[in-house]
A and B are shown apart, each in its own frame.
Chain A
């Protein structure tokens, strides 16, 4: 398996523009997670899907952020409008929830810079 695939790897955009980050989870996994990594706040969970349904979006910073999972093989994280403070590395992870043996596999991340 190719692992969790994220695109783009790098994104530079101007403040106010819409940004869309994409994620393809590992085939067969039923849970998907979006994390954000910054120097100040470390790794934070933004949103968690199970069977394509958002289960916990309490980490989404504000209404400018939205995430969708239209099917089991694709998810997007959208920021509209983007702001400089959104600059961070965004990771997507997926897992097959199987109680004790569940483990999350991470993508390579998207480094977002908002100027």
Chain B
């Protein structure tokens, strides 16, 4: 069965610092991987997705993620954190061998940005 594990339930960075949110996946087939962001009392918004094209995926709001098969990782990064980036971030995998839109989520990582 496919799954994702997010390392670190809380990450705190200073404004302007590098953001690194970690996600490792488990999959016996080439995975479809996603990062979503959830602001307080809001739904989930797609940041970026990996669908077996380029291994470095660029998303919205300056975020990007790199698919590393050898490390089974799909970590999310942003060079310089803004206060507005404070939110909860979810890594997700679409189970099975095709991308149906169905998602299995990690437990989430809360990003705190300090002034």
Contact = CB atoms under 8 A, between A and B. Distances in A.
Interface residues of A, number: 26
B44 to A, nearest CB: 4
B44 A106 contact: yes
A107 B44 CA distance: 8
Interface stretch (B11-19, B66-74, B77-85, B102-110): B102-110
Interface in B78-115: 90, 94, 98-108
A103 B102 contact: no
B48 to A, nearest CB: 10
A70 B107 CA distance: 32
B63 interface: no
B61 interface: no
Interface SS, B side: loop
B44 A33 contact: no
A97 B108 contact: no
A45 B99 contact: no
Contact of B102 (A45, A99, A107): A45
Contacts of B99: 97, 99-102
Given A100-B32, A108-B42, 10 more contacts: A31-B100, A43-B90, A56-B102, A93-B101, A95-B101, A99-B99, A100-B51, A101-B51, A102-B100, A109-B43
Interface of A: 4, 31, 33, 42-43, 45, 48, 50, 56, 91, 93-97, 99-109
Interface of B: 32, 34, 36, 42-46, 49, 51-53, 90, 94, 98-108
16 contacts: A33-B101, A33-B102, A42-B105, A42-B106, A43-B105, A45-B104, A95-B100, A99-B99, A100-B32, A102-B100, A103-B34, A104-B101, A105-B46, A106-B36, A108-B43, A109-B42
- Those 9 A-B pairs whose CB atoms lie nearest each other, nearest first: A95-B101, A106-B43, A43-B105, A100-B51, A106-B44, A102-B99, A104-B101, A102-B101, A108-B43
